[in-house]
Structure 1
């Protein structure tokens, strides 16, 4: 049987590079790997379903489940994971000296449904006494005017959400004090430039994130891998084949990262940082699958529902192809 030709749109990651380079292959699949920026992949997949397989925002994927049948089927492969305490910025004169001070403030976000922002709103509500409806949200382009939600959202009237002017950006409004804070996956340009008017809400991000993990055991999931529904329905075996290959690619990345003969990345203390990470989070700190990530997924799904993005509370098993949750026992 000839291999099935599939296109996989994904970021340029160490944990998927073996698939991109062809040193790991998915059984029965001839894979074309497209290295694309995440925003482009998400937009093109959500709006036009351009790729057979793609990396997708966890929040956008859960939003897509409201359609019956849903356009995608996910694998429990988490191409992006990241603690997000460092994603909160504030204006220096906004009177924000601790996270609790965000209550009653004007907080910008490129899109309300962004996974990073779902996580931070949930963490602020759970751990810092900042209910989701205690903040006024403003959406729009961070660095370029005119950004729109890639997926339409129908939110409760209890939330205060408005668009910024079409000719303005969130980054400029934060620097000018027109918004009090900004929640964003990408570092805003004024902060990069060292503008003293912009600082992080959590001044010691690493300490805050380590404390959060110690208290919760959660290493937030940002992105999953999805298969387009029509491909999955015709070739159910693709889910297991891709899942096995993505696991193998991740294992190869683990191995190469701990090669001390020469640094793989331009980080002087990469090896001790890796060893500290293993000590704190465990050897398989970037785990795939549901069981090892159940509490993390349940927390996110609860946040998604509580923030008005899900009509009902999903269970982790409902998100993923059954074939990716099973394995043969020898």
Structure 2
């Protein structure tokens, strides 16, 4: 039987390269893999739906489940996770020392529904005393003035929103026209005399958060076009197995100190420290190990007003062959 031809779009990371190179095969699939920068990948997939299987922004996937056709079905592997305390930047002249100081301030957000911003709004309300609706959120391009939304955005009415298309958010922050920035990528105006991180030692704050919650926040998921998944039983399980295997290979390469696979001189020590503090299974795959974390992001999306009803973690993978993982 001929292998199923599948166009796959993913970001370039140690978790995806084994699939892109063909080192890890997807059973029954002839894969054509494209590596792209995440924002370009998401913009293309959310507007043109180029790929049959794609690394997908978790928050956008949750929103897609409220469309009648539910165009995608997710696979419970998470190519990107990130503690985002290191991704909050402030103007040094504004006297902002802690998250609660952001009440009433103007916060730049390149994409309002990006997972980084969803997690930060929820975490700061749950753990740092900042109501998600108290700041003013300013939409715009991170490094260039925006001419329009790269993919369609929805701005819930119970938030205060502004749009700035004349300057980049990086420049607005440096010039003090916004007070802070939630971002997935550090602005070009940092580090500088006018721009610093909110948390001087974000790693310690992130470790404290993990010790309280056990959450290493997922940013992306792998999604397959639902019609393809339904027409090819076993496809989502094969994709799951391949991405899980690629992740194991990534970990093994970090452990191999014969020739470092990154430019980090203490690569192995960093891995060992991470596993000591977060546990050896700190990047879990499968529904069971991620259920509690997914319940939190679902709640945050609901409280933000980005989704209208509370879904269960099982609903994220409804139609996949892997609910028991």
Superposed counterparts of 1:73-84, under 5 Å:
73-84=73-84
Match of 2:266 in 1: 269
Matched, 1:182 2:181: yes
Q: CA deviation at 1:56?
A: 0.6
Distance 1:91 1:99, change over 3 A: same
8 Å contact 1:121–1:132 — kept in the other structure?
yes
Distance across 1 between alignment mates of 2:114 and 2:73: 19
8 Å contact 2:85–2:202 — kept in the other structure?
yes
Match of 1:254 in 2: 251
Q: CA deviation at 1:152?
A: 3.1
Match of 2:312 in 1: 315
Q: CA deviation at 1:196?
A: 0.8
Gaps of 5+ in 2: none
Match of 2:152 in 1: 151
Gaps of 5+ in 1: none
8 Å contact 2:43–2:150 — kept in the other structure?
no
8 Å contact 2:229–2:320 — kept in the other structure?
no
Q: CA deviation at 1:149?
A: 5.6
Give the secondary-structure state (helix, strand or coil) at the position aligned to 2:220.
strand
Match of 1:227 among 217, 221, 224: 224
Matched, 1:167 2:149: no
TM-score (norm 1): 0.95
Match of 2:324 in 1: 326
Give the secondary-structure state (helix, strand or coil) at the position aligned to 1:190.
coil
Distance across 1 between alignment mates of 2:217 and 2:154: 22
Query: Number of residue pairs matched?
Result: 323
8 Å contact 1:99–1:202 — kept in the other structure?
no
Q: CA deviation at 1:120?
A: 0.5
Distance across 1 between alignment mates of 2:169 and 2:34: 30
Q: CA deviation at 1:222?
A: 0.3
8 Å contact 2:82–2:218 — kept in the other structure?
yes
Distance across 2 between alignment mates of 1:236 and 1:14: 28
Match of 2:96 in 1: 96
Q: CA deviation at 1:202?
A: 0.9
8 Å contact 1:111–1:149 — kept in the other structure?
no
Q: CA deviation at 1:154?
A: 5.1
Of 141-150 and 288-297, the range deviating more from structure 2: 141-150
Q: CA deviation at 1:230?
A: 2.3
CA RMSD of aligned residues (A): 1.2
Distance across 2 between alignment mates of 1:270 and 1:242: 29
8 Å contact 2:155–2:161 — kept in the other structure?
no
Match of 1:107 in 2: 107
Distance across 2 between alignment mates of 1:204 and 1:256: 28
8 Å contact 2:112–2:153 — kept in the other structure?
no
Distance across 1 between alignment mates of 2:53 and 2:59: 17
Which string of whole-angstrom CA distances, capped at 9 and with x for unpartnered residues, describes residues 165-193 of structure 1? Answer: x22111110000000100000100100xx
